[in-house]
Structure 1
């Protein structure tokens, strides 16, 4: 249950032509403590509850546990979340042997597009598409839990 991922800014919307799917996601946080975050997410018509631990020093890996929950329960739990509900569209974009998850944010985070790639190990190599920009792995301000508290539009 250790998640290893790297995060990048996205330079343009060229990724949309390569996307195999897109899904709207609405999510909030029941807890945003640095040692643990508890997230409620609605992805399409399915609810999820996720707990994440503190990231390692590089920001590339951390504990993650997630379970599906009924949509109605997720909708109810969103009402209990800390202020700052995120609204985004996630695009799944295959590149080489990997899958990038590209989040195009809306609302107070409009204009921010971030790509994440999950890896099997921290030293794993992967193809970098032309639309991939600056790496922001480990930069706390790009964590979803922080975007909920201090949206991109306020930077």
Structure 2
């Protein structure tokens, strides 16, 4: 079992683009979400597919289990189980001060949303914030993928962070 400690931020400007070392397209489908905060997701990229089970949050962290599955199974789950409840994004890896920042640029249903995440070894770990980083939204339920999808999944337009921040908590 892995215990994931992650911090999430809005992106203030395009400065991150000059530091990108790799990128990959991801499709995430929510299979199940529970009142406790636990969830099950299927994810597909160009090379592999996997199921992720995330446990209840404890502070900034949560237990996470990942299981690689056949790509055909993931594609079937996305179309048969997740229906239209999936997210497409391009994840850009941006190294900064010894950490790898993942900048997710959402497409299709959430076009316009850009979020940056960094995984830490523990909650108390200090880190240098890149100059392009904006407001922290770790733990803000409005910026969870499932909440964004429920609220803006059929918007058919650009979704802005300001619009999400204007929503009640």
Alignment TM-score, normalising by the size of structure 1: 0.91
Q: Structure 1 residue runs of 4+, over 3 Å off?
A: 152-155
Report matched runs for 1:29-44 at 5 Å. 29-35=30-36, 36-44=38-46
Q: Distance in 2 between matches of 1:96 and 1:34?
A: 37
Report matched runs for 1:1-155 at 5 Å. 1-35=2-36, 36-56=38-58, 58=59, 60-79=60-79, 80-81=81-82, 83-151=84-152, 153=159, 155=164
Q: Distance in 1 between matches of 2:145 and 2:55?
A: 14
Higher Cα Rg, which structure: 2
Structure 1 unaligned runs (5+)?
A: none
Alignment TM-score, normalising by the size of structure 2: 0.84
Per-residue deviation, 1:132: 0.4
**Are the counterparts in 2 of residues 7 and 135 from structure 1 also a CA contact under 8 Å?**
yes
Per-residue deviation, 1:151: 2.5
Structure of higher RCO (CA pairs closer than 8 Å, 6+ residues apart): 1
Q: Distance in 2 between matches of 1:53 and 1:82?
A: 23
Greater strand share, 1 or 2? 1
Q: 1:147 to 1:104 in 2, by over 3 A?
A: same
